[in-house]
Structure 1
């Protein structure tokens, strides 16, 4: 156990090293398992940061506490994750009684900063789900707390770790098309996945910061990583034109709605036993409805989003996010001084197959549903030459296979050098959300937003001086 645990400690230090600030390794001894607590027992918390850690890494860690404001979800989480630790509806009490080494934060996005800061102030290292937080002032408070604490803060990005995204990084690192000058990046959420955000708490700005932050933080982190630079300015447009009050009718929830037969977005939660056990069975504790009406008037986030982003190295990016596409997927094109790279995933016309969009979403969200027998192409077209097609083996499930690889890097192979620098630290977490926060501010003010004015972090034209191959 000593060796496995030493690997884990080394990994956290490596991940935190991506921060722009001095960090230290974990300070506790190696004679016992890592004491972990989890706050927030929703889908992501109980599965990826709960059950999977217990199933795969119990030799080096143990859960000593679970916390949530909903006591019913807590009891379900304890059974589902497979732990015997005490449960707490009071986070401060959990910290005091369990004295954990690591706090994992998977609560509603707008509350991340509360638990991150308390964990750091109590001498704990913290691992938080994306997005780091939802507002610039909260991001600055987290920065200040992390600097003062001397502890480590890690953001759980996973898209970097998929084989397809890694291949794009490799091509860019190898200067395949020269210096990058501009990028076109378009993400499409289908009518199953996209709609799901609007029926959950994510449909409220004060909970998730809008999809500019909750969802697009993934996309912006990929851009920052691929381009190896920080954003410097963003200008955006956005509106709510499809969901929310734009709907033809409304109901209290899909289960009780009188318009079930006529609503194309009807969602039968009773067919998903896990959602029934985790959410529906515990509505009486906090009133949270998982199959809420996506046409309710309180929805105030954008369902149409477009932005132009300028980077500190003068690269410009045109980005859009569609939330009611007939298919789920994305396209990106890098323009360089020597050519162009085009990449896309899950575009049904490109792979010439009929894809069940509901099944696709279910598999993508299931960390253990990995399929190996698929491939997608990347097009490399150099100036004055014919294009080349690069075929990349891809996976479905767990965010393109990124979830499993992220965990394995942390817990199994942290000592192995990563030539693609996929580990993400606090600076990565902040820079990814600042684009979304800036875009949101730009829509509200009608002005371009300087990223360097949102926190005290200064955008860098080159994040990593060199990456060894």
Structure 2
């Protein structure tokens, strides 16, 4: 069999930033030996055309997903559309005979989870979820330390994630700012964090108690406008986004907005925003590990802090991604032993590519034959479902009060 016939024929659905870069241009630049892009689908054909040029492909464009599936019969469909549309595309792709890679989160509701899981079981096809944080070199080393028993059995985890006032604000400019589209950041963003916890602890969350409010963006703003480009407050607003200054975003979103009305620089202070921007949660796991979690979206820093507390010690990481001071191009894990065992400082150098090498490692795992998944990093639909269920429970707890139990039957 020739190398060309061994390549997986894939279709890309959704040509926003992530689809165009991670699963378009970057995938073809680094993994063209293993994949062939045979079709690009987006309801906005102008955006799809711009994305195709950026990707450097001559694959045909489609606005109709079913027509693309019927004409191309791809082996694989990569889904990069808004979160609330994932389930419909995934199910139709599976029923059309393709495997699926879904950008996180897998979906946004319990009913949609059940629909995806049923279709996967019924068709015998595979769904992967793009949990690239599992593959970062630092996360991999922490997982190794836990499995080696470096601190004994874990009893609790402190986990706090910080989005700076550029990255965090972006979620409030876009469709993510509405629960109906993203499930809130407890689902869209925290799906990464809850999945990391589930993977690190090798257990399922069983109940969640949370608090969450919209304290900074939305109606809390001192003023607002129709969008940054047309806003009378652009001079005084620290969140002003000049799309024209970013050729990539401008090409992908500005002219295409005339087709579908979706603007990339919507006001972060829109009164209709209905997701929280300040979130905390306490999570209990089936193995009785207790987790204290928080997510903040308007910090002067970007990164996270995580610490695992065990019977024999503590593993601690403060990962810096962006801050107003300089840090070494590496992460420092502290392994602190109890009873006078001292401290070991483990330095993990950053690797090239997104998420300090995690994106590249994940694509290697998915596409290169014979990859060794010794740490069980490749994530399927069950992993995607459990992280979403945790986010759904956290949002319900914050809005309705009380503790919300997580029903594992939703993913079987």
Residue pair 1:224, 1:432 contacting (<8 A) in 2 also = yes
- Whether 1:451 and 2:406 are equivalent positions in the alignment is yes
Q: Distance in 2 between matches of 1:229 and 1:99?
A: 37
- Whether 1:170 and 2:170 are equivalent positions in the alignment is no
Distance 1:209 1:90, change over 3 A: same
Where does residue 347 of structure 2 map in the other structure? 391
Q: Distance in 2 between matches of 1:135 and 1:334?
A: 30
Residue pair 1:159, 1:400 contacting (<8 A) in 2 also = no
- Whether 1:419 and 2:374 are equivalent positions in the alignment is yes
Among candidates 311, 335, 341, match of residue 285 of structure 2: 311
Where does residue 136 of structure 1 map in the other structure? 110
Distance 1:125 1:348, change over 3 A: closer
**3-state secondary structure, aligned to 1:137:** helix
- Whether 1:239 and 2:222 are equivalent positions in the alignment is no
Where does residue 222 of structure 2 map in the other structure? 248
Distance 1:174 1:33, change over 3 A: closer
Distance 1:348 1:196, change over 3 A: closer
Residue pair 1:199, 1:290 contacting (<8 A) in 2 also = yes
Distance 1:241 1:396, change over 3 A: farther
Q: Distance in 2 between matches of 1:78 and 1:348?
A: 31
1:47-92 C-alpha deviation (Å, 9 max, x unpaired): 1111122222323332221111111101112211122222111111
Q: Distance in 1 between matches of 2:302 and 2:12?
A: 31
- Whether 1:260 and 2:216 are equivalent positions in the alignment is no
Structure 2 unaligned runs (5+)?
none
TM-score if structure 1 supplies the norm length? 0.84
- Matches for 1:2-401 after TM superposition, within 5 Å: 2=2, 31=5, 33-346=7-320, 354-355=325-326, 374-385=329-340, 386-395=342-351, 397-401=353-357
Residue pair 2:175, 2:181 contacting (<8 A) in 1 also = yes
**3-state secondary structure, aligned to 1:289:** coil
Residue pair 1:235, 1:442 contacting (<8 A) in 2 also = yes
Distance 1:41 1:176, change over 3 A: same
Q: Distance in 1 between matches of 2:365 and 2:321?
A: 29
Using the TM superposition, give the Cα deviation of residue 447 of structure 1 relative to its aligned residue in structure 2, in angstroms. 2.4
Distance 1:86 1:174, change over 3 A: same
Distance 1:59 1:391, change over 3 A: closer
Using the TM superposition, give the Cα deviation of residue 242 of structure 1 relative to its aligned residue in structure 2, in angstroms. 0.4
1:78-134 C-alpha deviation (Å, 9 max, x unpaired): 211122222111111111111111111100011000100001111211111111001
TM-score if structure 2 supplies the norm length? 0.96
The number of equivalent residue pairs is 411
Structure 1 unaligned runs (5+)?
6-30, 357-372, 458-469
**3-state secondary structure, aligned to 1:279:** helix
Distance 1:93 1:257, change over 3 A: same
Distance 1:453 1:376, change over 3 A: closer
Residue pair 2:19, 2:80 contacting (<8 A) in 1 also = yes
**3-state secondary structure, aligned to 2:229:** coil
Where does residue 385 of structure 2 map in the other structure? 430
